[in-house]
Amino acid sequence: MELAYHAIDLAVLADPTSLDGDPYHEFSAAHVLVEMAKSGEAVDTMGRPLLTPEEIDRLARYYGVVDPTTKQVKVRAFKMPIFCDQQWYFPEQVWVWDWGRSDAPTEFQIRYYERLHGCTNNTSLRATLMDIFSQAKKSKVAFSDLLAQRIQTLEGQKQGGKQR
């Protein structure tokens, strides 16, 4: 737990325009913490919990909801185009999961890539992801599952309605 908290601290202090400034470093370390806490591994040598239920709930709300079956934060990677203009873009990996914040976890990552590449033509992408995130929360389905379904639907439409 100490190392995960230290990793979060280092990630927060990193230059946001450097590779170390990728916000996923902070999030993935926090996922370890919340998973340990939810599975009962966050205990001292006497077996006493190191975190209160309130602290565990706060970690889940701010960093990731733990799936009760797998005891892990369900995280999925998607390739997203980070646009500089209408034709020029960088394909980047964006991680998707559920949490209790009002912004989608993709928002922080896209901002990071925009700073990294100096490309800020992503208003439509950001709005689409935020809309899907809001729909997932409202419908109580996993953000990653709903996003994957939407991508599959769009790919089917690009092929003239034929699914692969």
Q: Where are the domains of the chain?
A: 1-70, 74-164
Residue 112 in this model has a pLDDT that exceeds 70? yes
CA distances (Å), origin 82, targets 32, 78, 95:
28, 12, 14
pLDDT band at 160 (very low <50, low <70, confident <90, very high): low
Q: Distance (Å, rounded) from C-alpha 148 to C-alpha 78?
A: 8
Check: CB of residue 90 under 8 Å from CB of residue 111.
Answer: no
Check: CB of residue 118 under 8 Å from CB of residue 90.
Answer: no
Q: Looking up tokens 């999961």, which residue turns up?
A: 97
- Over residues 24-58, the pLDDT tens digits come to 999 999 999 999 999 999 999 999 999 999 999 99
The one-letter amino acid at 21:
G
Give me the phi and psi of 89, to 5 degrees please.
-150, 165
Residue 22 in this model has a pLDDT that exceeds 90? yes
Q: Looking up tokens 């990630």, which residue turns up?
A: 11
Q: What is the mean pLDDT of the chain?
A: 92
Q: For residue 104, give the nearest of 138, 142, 131 by alpha carbon.
A: 131
Q: Dig out the tokens for 137 from the structure.
A: 């929360």
pLDDT band at 72 (very low <50, low <70, confident <90, very high): very high
pLDDT band at 159 (very low <50, low <70, confident <90, very high): low
Per-residue confidence (pLDDT) for residue 154, from 0 to 100: 85
Average of per-residue pLDDT across 135-139: 97
Average of per-residue pLDDT across 124-144: 96
